[in-house]
Structure 1
Amino acid sequence: MSRIENQFTVQFWGVRGSIPSPGPRTVRYGGNTPCISMQVGSKRLIFDAGTGLHVLGQSLLSQMPLEGHIFFTHSHWDHIQGFPFFTPAFIKGNKFNIYGAIAPDGSTIEQRLNDQMLHPNFPVPLQVMQANLNFYNIQPGKPIHIDDITLETAHLNHPGEAIGYRVNWRGGAVVYITDTEHFPDKLDENILRLSQDADIMIYDSTYTDEEYYSPSFPKIGWGHSTWQEAVKMAKAANVKTLVIYHHDPTHNDEFLDRIGQEALEKFSGAIMAREGLVLQVPVTVPLSESV
Structure 2
Amino acid sequence: MSNPDSPASNPQNQSADIESVSPSPEFVVEFWGVRGSIPAPGSETVRYGGNTSCVEMRVDGKRLIFDGGTGLRMLGKHLLKQMPVEAYMFFSHSHWDHIQGFPFFVPAFVKGNCFHIYGAIAPNGASMKQRLSDQMLHPNFPVPIQVMQSDLKFYDLLAGDIMQLGAVTIETGPLNHPNSAMGYRVTWEGRTVVYATDTEHYPDHLDENLLHLARNADILIYDACYTDEEYHDPKAPKIGWGHSTWQEAIKLAKAAGVKQAVIFHHDPNHCDDFLDKVEADVRSVFPNSVLAREGMILPV
**Alignment TM-score > 0.5, same fold:** yes
Aligned length: 278
Partner of 2:212: helix, strand, or coil? helix
Instruction: Say which of 175, 181, 203 aligns to 1:156.
Output: 175
Match of 1:286 in 2: none
User: Aligned match of 1:51 in 57, 65, 70?
Assistant: 70
Aligned equivalent of 1:19, options 13, 35, 38? 38
Q: Distance in 2 between matches of 1:138 and 1:149?
A: 17
Distance of 1:35 and 1:6 partners within structure 2: 21
Residue among 245, 251, 255 paired with 1:232: 251
Structure 1 equivalent of residue 277 of structure 2: 258
Letter in 1 for 2:119: G
Q: Is structure 2 residue 113 aligned with structure 1 residue 94?
A: yes
* Distance across 1 between alignment mates of 2:232 and 2:50: 25
Paired residue type of 1:6: P
Q: Which amino acid aligns with 1:100?
A: G
The DSSP-based 3-state class of the residue aligned with 1:265 is: helix
Letter in 1 for 2:108: A
Letter in 1 for 2:189: R
1:7 aligns with 2:23: no
Q: 1:80 aligns with which of 71, 95, 99?
A: 99
Q: Per-residue deviation at 1:205? A: 0.3
Secondary structure of the structure 2 residue equivalent to 1:191: helix
Aligned to 1:267: 286
Q: Secondary structure at the match of 1:225?
A: coil
Please state whether the residue corresponding to 1:53 is helix, strand or coil.
Answer: helix
Structure 1 residues 204-256: Cα deviation after superposition (integer angstroms, max 9, x where no partner): 00000000000000000000000000010011011111000000000000000
- Give the structure 2 partner of residue 203 of structure 1: 222
Partners of 2:287 and 2:216 lie apart in 1 by: 15
Matches within 5 A, 1:132-147: 132-147=151-166
Which SS does the other structure have where 2:282 is aligned? helix
Unmatched segments (≥5 aa) in structure 1: 282-291
- Match of 1:35? 54
Aligned counterpart in structure 2 of residue 165 of structure 1, from 175, 181, 184: 184
* Superposition deviation, residue 6 in structure 1: 3.2
Code of the residue aligned with 2:250 in structure 1: it is V
CA offset at residue 5 of structure 1? Answer: 3.5
AA partner of residue 128 (structure 2): I
Match of 2:141 among 111, 122, 125: 122
Higher deviation after alignment, 139-148 or 11-20: 139-148
CA-based RMSD: 0.6
User: What percent of counterpart residues are identical?
Assistant: 63
Instruction: Please list every run of 5 or more consecutive structure 2 residues that lacks an aligned counterpart in the other structure.
Output: 1-22
The residue type paired with residue 180 of structure 2 is: E
- The residue type equivalent to 2:232 in the other structure is Y
Once the two structures are TM-superposed, the CA of residue 145 in structure 1 deviates from its matched residue by 1.2
CA shift for structure 1 position 154: 0.4
SS at match of 1:211: helix
Task: Name segments (4+ residues, structure 1) moved above 6 Å.
Answer: none
1:21 Cα deviation from its structure 2 partner? 0.2
Question: TM-score scaled by structure 2?
Answer: 0.92
Cα distance between partner residues in 1 of 2:186 and 2:152: 22
Displacement after TM superposition at 1:192 (Å): 0.4
SS in 1 for 2:139: coil
Mapped to 1, the partners of 2:295 and 2:81 lie a distance apart of: 18
